C-alpha cells in the first residue's frame, strides 16, 4: 500500500541555534546552515541515499530521523552567505522547504497550512533545476502530499512541470514514490505519465518494497493501457524473485494487487506459493491489523470458488496459513475494524472443507463482537457478514450441537441488524437491504425484530416502482410471502445484478 523512499545518509549537528546538514563522509566540505529548524539545504554533491525505509499507509518512520518543522520558507529560510551554491536564493529556499515538509511528514506530524501553500505557490521554481535534483524533490513533495491527503493541488501545474520526456530521466525509486503520491492524490493523468516512464526503463533495480507498492498503485488505478499491463507483468515477475525480501506489508500489498487485477489471477500460481511461503516465515502475528485482513481477503479472491480443490492439492501451505490467520484474527477481534472483519468473513464462503474449527471460532467471535457495533457497519459489510454467518450454519451444522453457542450469537446479531436497517432504511442501498433479507430467510430466523424489518421494507417497496423484481422476491421470502410485484416486460428475474448494483435506496430521511 505504500512506496519506498530512500532516507538520505546524513549527519545532524546542533550548535547553539544552528542546525547543520552535512552528507555523510563529506569531510570538511562546506555545510548549509539555517537559523530556523524549518530550513534544511541539500548540496548538489549530496550522494544518492543508501538506506531504504518502507513508507505509505502502514509507514513507520525511522526513529533516528530528525524532526523538522518551520514557518514559511519565503519568510524565514536563511542560507549561509558563505556557502557556494549554483542556484539562486529562491531555488535554495524552495529546496529547503520541500525537505522540511518531507521530514515533518516522515515523523507523522501534520505540516502547517502555510508551509504547504508556499511550496505549491512556487513550484515553477523547480523547472530549471537539473533532472537528478528535481527527481528527488518531486518524489519527496508528492509523497508528502499523498501522505497527508492534501486537497486542492492543481494538477495542471504538475503536468506543466513534469513532461513525459523528463519523467523518463528520473530515478526508479523516485518514480515509484511519485506514483504512490499521485494515486493517493487522485492525479490519474500524472500517474499515467509515470507508468509510461516506468515502462521505458528496466525495472530490475527497483527495491523490493517499491515493487509491492507499485503493484498496489497499478491495481488501484485499473488503467487498461498497454504500459500499465506491461509494467504490472514485469513487477509480478520481480515479486516472485524478491519475495524473500518482502515485509508483511509487502506481502499483503502484492497479494491484494494480484487479487484485484483479474487478468493476472490465473497466472499467479507460482507467485501465490512464494507469497504464502513468505507469510509463513513472517508469522501471522507480525502482520498489522489491516495487512492481515488484506492478505486473507486476497487469498480467498485469488483461489476463488475452486478453493476446496485448490486447498487439497498444491495449496496445502495456503490452507495452513489461512488457519493461522483465522486464529490470529480471532484473538484480535476486538481491535480489528468492522471492514476488516467483513473482508475475512467474505473469504470464508470459498472454504467448503469440513473441520475448519478456526474459521468457525472466528465467525462466532465476530458475531459476538459486532452485535453492539452495527451502527459502525456499512451496508455492504452488513450484507457480507450476514451471508457469512448464515452460510456457516448451513455448512457446519456441528456448531449447533451445543445450545447457546453459535446460532444464538447469530440471532443476537440479526436482531441488531434488523433494528438498525428497519429504522433507517434510507441509509442503505436496495442491494444491501435485499441481501440481508435473503440471508435472514435462508437461516429461517423467525424472531419479531426480523419480521418487523421485513414488513417495513415491503411496505416501502410497494411505493418504489424502480425496485427490481429479484429484490422484491428476496424481501418477500423473509416472511414466506408471495412477492407483490411482477417481473417487468423483458426482464429476466434471475439476471438483474447490473441494475441492482447501480440502484441506490431513494428513501428520504425524516
DSSP string of 30-65, one letter each residue = --EEESSTT-----TTPPPP-EEEE-STT----TTS
For residues 406 and 392, give the distance between their C-alpha atoms in angstroms, rounded to a whole number: 9
Query: Which of 13-17, 233-237, 301-305 reaches the highest mean pLDDT?
Result: 233-237
Contact predicate 53/141, CB 8 Å = no
Judged against a pLDDT cut of 60, whether residue 177 lies above it is answered with yes
Lowest mean pLDDT among 33-37, 177-181, 273-277, 282-286: 33-37
Calculate ∠ Cα 227-276-293, nearest 5°.
Answer: 85
For residues 437 and 91, give the distance between their C-alpha atoms in angstroms, rounded to a whole number: 63
Per-residue pLDDT at 156: 72
For residues 370 and 380, give the distance between their C-alpha atoms in angstroms, rounded to a whole number: 14
Query: What counts of helices (H) and strands (E) characterise the chain?
Result: 23, 5
Per-residue pLDDT at 84: 41
- What would the grid cell of residue 203 be? 525495472
| 140-169 average pLDDT score | 81
> Is pTM beyond 0.75 here?
no
Per-residue pLDDT at 486: 43
CA-atom Rg of the chain in angstroms: 27
Q: What is the mean pLDDT of the chain?
A: 72
Q: Which residue has the cell 505549491?
A: 120
Q: What percent of the chain shows pLDDT beyond 90?
A: 15
Judged against a pLDDT cut of 80, whether residue 35 lies above it is answered with no
| 272-295 average pLDDT score | 89
Q: At what angle do helices 208-221 and 188-199 cross, to 10 degrees?
A: 130
Provide the 3-class DSSP secondary structure of residue 19: strand
Judged against a pLDDT cut of 70, whether residue 22 lies above it is answered with no
- What would the grid cell of residue 453 be? 424489518
List, as one string, the DSSP characters of 292-329: HHHHHHHHHHHHGGGHHHHHHTTTHHHHHHHHHHHHHH
Lowest mean pLDDT among 50-59, 302-311, 483-492: 50-59
For 300, other C-beta atoms within 10 Å of its C-beta total 22
* pLDDT, tens only, 405-428: 788 888 889 899 988 888 887 788
Sign of the alpha-carbon torsion through 47, 50, 51, 57:
positive
For residues 503 and 376, give the distance between their C-alpha atoms in angstroms, rounded to a whole number: 22
For residues 185 and 143, give the distance between their C-alpha atoms in angstroms, rounded to a whole number: 9
Judged against a pLDDT cut of 50, whether residue 40 lies above it is answered with no
Largest CA distance in the chain: 88
Sign of the alpha-carbon torsion through 300, 303, 307, 312:
negative
Judged against a pLDDT cut of 60, whether residue 81 lies above it is answered with no
Contact predicate 341/366, CB 8 Å = yes
Judged against a pLDDT cut of 50, whether residue 440 lies above it is answered with yes
Q: Which helix H or strand E contains 18, and what residues bound it?
A: strand 18-23
Lowest mean pLDDT among 27-36, 187-196, 339-348, 364-373: 27-36
Judged against a pLDDT cut of 50, whether residue 495 lies above it is answered with no
Cβ-proximal residues to 449 (8 Å cutoff; 6+ apart), any chain: 414, 415, 418, 419, 422
Per-residue pLDDT at 116: 83
Per-residue pLDDT at 452: 82
Per-residue pLDDT at 263: 66
| 449-470 average pLDDT score | 71
Per-residue pLDDT at 27: 41
Counted residue by residue, the chain has a size of: 510
Per-residue pLDDT at 264: 66
Residue 87 — pLDDT band, cuts 50, 70, 90? low
Residue 20 — pLDDT band, cuts 50, 70, 90? very low
Per-residue pLDDT at 197: 92
Judged against a pLDDT cut of 50, whether residue 62 lies above it is answered with no
Would you kindly state where each structural domain of the chain is located, as residue ranges?
397-510
For residues 430 and 435, give the distance between their C-alpha atoms in angstroms, rounded to a whole number: 8
Provide the 3-class DSSP secondary structure of residue 226: helix
Q: Which helix H or strand E contains 12, and what residues bound it?
A: strand 10-15
| 160-168 average pLDDT score | 84
Output DSSP code: residue 14: E
Per-residue pLDDT at 350: 65
Sign of the alpha-carbon torsion through 257, 258, 260, 261:
positive
Output DSSP code: residue 427: G
| Start-to-end C-alpha separation, the chain | 40
Please list, residue by residue across 225-261, b when 16 or more beta carbons sit within 10 angstroms of its beta carbon and e when fewer do. eebbbebbebbbebbeebbeebbbbbbbbbbbbbbbb
Judged against a pLDDT cut of 60, whether residue 159 lies above it is answered with yes
For residues 116 and 118, give the distance between their C-alpha atoms in angstroms, rounded to a whole number: 5
Q: At what angle do helices 131-147 and 172-185 cross, to 10 degrees?
A: 30
Q: At what angle do helices 338-347 and 379-395 cross, to 10 degrees?
A: 40
| 217-231 average pLDDT score | 88
* pLDDT, tens only, 335-394: 999 999 999 988 876 665 544 678 888 888 998 899 888 888 898 999 999 988 888 877
Contact predicate 265/272, CB 8 Å = no
List, as one string, the DSSP characters of 338-371: HHHHHHHHHHGGG---S--HHHHHHHHHHHHHHT
| 67-88 average pLDDT score | 41
More confident residue, 237 or 87: 237
More confident residue, 86 or 254: 254
Amino acid at each position: 500500500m505504500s512506496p519506498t523512499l530512500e532516507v538520505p545518509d546524513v549527519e545532524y549537528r546542533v550548535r547553539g541555534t544552528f542546525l547543520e546538514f552535512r552528507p555523510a563522509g563529506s569531510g570538511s566540505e562546506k555545510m548549509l546552515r539555517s537559523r530556523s529548524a524549518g530550513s534544511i539545504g541539500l548540496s548538489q554533491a549530496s550522494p544518492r541515499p543508501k538506506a531504504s525505509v518502507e513508507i505509505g499507509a502502514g509507514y513507520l518512520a525511522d526513529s533516528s530521523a530528525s524532526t523538522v518543522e518551520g514557518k514559511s520558507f519565503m519568510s524565514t529560510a536563511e542560507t549561509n552567505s558563505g556557502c557556494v551554491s549554483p542556484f539562486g536564493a529562491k531555488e535554495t529556499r524552495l529546496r529547503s522547504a520541500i525537505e522540511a515538509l518531507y521530514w515533518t511528514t516522515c515523523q507523522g506530524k501534520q505540516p502547517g497550512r502555510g508551509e504547504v501553500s508556499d511550496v505549491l505557490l512556487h513550484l515553477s521554481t523547480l523547472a530549471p533545476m537539473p533532472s537528478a535534483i528535481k527527481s528527488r524533490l518531486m518524489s519527496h513533495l508528492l509523497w508528502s502530499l499523498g501522505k497527508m491527503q492534501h486537497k486542492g493541488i492543481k494538477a495542471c501545474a504538475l503536468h506543466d512541470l513534469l513532461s513525459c520526456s523528463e519523467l523518463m530521466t528520473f530515478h526508479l525509486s523516485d518514480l515509484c514514490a511519485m506514483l504512490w503520491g499521485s494515486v493517493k492524490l487522485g492525479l490519474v493523468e500524472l500517474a499515467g505519465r509515470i507508468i509510461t516512464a516506468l515502462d521505458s526503463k528496466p525495472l530490475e533495480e527497483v527495491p523490493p518494497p517499491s515493487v509491492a507498492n507499485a503493484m498496489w498503485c497499478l491495481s488501484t488505478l485499473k488503467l487498461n493501457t498497454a504500459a500499465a499491463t506491461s509494467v504490472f507483468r514485469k513487477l509480478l515477475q520481480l515479486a516472485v524473485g524478491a519475495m524473500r525480501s518482502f515485509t508483511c506489508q509487502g506481502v499483503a500489498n502484492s497479494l491484494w494487487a494480484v487479487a484485484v487485477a483479474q487478468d493476472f489471477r490465473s497466472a499467479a500460481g507460482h507467485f501465490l506459493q512464494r507469497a504464502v511461503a513468505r507469510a509463513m516465515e513472517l508469522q501471522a502475528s507480525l502482520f498489522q491489523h489491516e495487512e492481515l485482513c488484506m492478505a486473507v481477503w486476497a487469498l480467498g479472491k485469488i483461489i476463488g470458488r475452486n478453493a476446496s480443490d485448490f486447498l487439497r492439492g498444491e495449496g496445502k501451505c495456503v490452507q495452513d496459513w489461512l488457519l493461522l490467520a483465522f486464529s490470529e484474527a480471532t484473538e484480535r477481534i476486538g481491535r480489528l475494524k468492522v471492514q476488516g472483519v467483513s473482508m475475512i468473513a467474505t473469504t470464508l464462503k470459498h472454504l467448503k472443507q469440513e473441520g475448519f474449527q478456526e474459521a468457525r471460532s472466528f465467525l462466532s467471535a465476530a458475531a459476538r463482537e459486532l452485535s453492539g457495533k452495527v451502527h459502525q457497519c456499512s451496508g455492504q459489510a452488513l450484507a457480507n457478514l450476514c451471508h457469512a454467518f448464515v452460510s456457516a450454519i448451513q455448512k457446519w451444522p456441528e456448531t449447533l450441537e451445543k445450545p447457546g453457542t453459535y446460532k444464538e450469537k447469530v440471532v443476537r446479531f440479526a436482531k441488531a441488524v434488523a433494528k438498525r436497517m428497519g429504522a433507517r432504511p434510507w441509509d442503505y442501498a436496495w442491494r444491501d437491504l435485499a441481501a440481508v433479507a435473503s440471508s435472514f430467510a435462508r437461516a429461517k430466523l423467525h424472531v419479531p425484530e426480523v419480521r418487523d424489518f421485513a414488513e417495513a421494507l415491503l411496505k416501502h417497496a410497494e411505493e418504489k416502482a424502480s425496485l427490481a423484481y429479484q429484490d422484491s422476491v428476496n424481501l418477500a421470502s423473509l416472511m414466506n410471502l408471495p412477492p407483490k410485484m411482477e417481473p417487468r416486460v423483458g426482464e429476466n428475474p434471475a439476471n438483474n445484478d447490473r441494475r441492482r448494483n447501480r440502484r441506490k435506496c431513494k428513501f428520504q430521511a425524516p
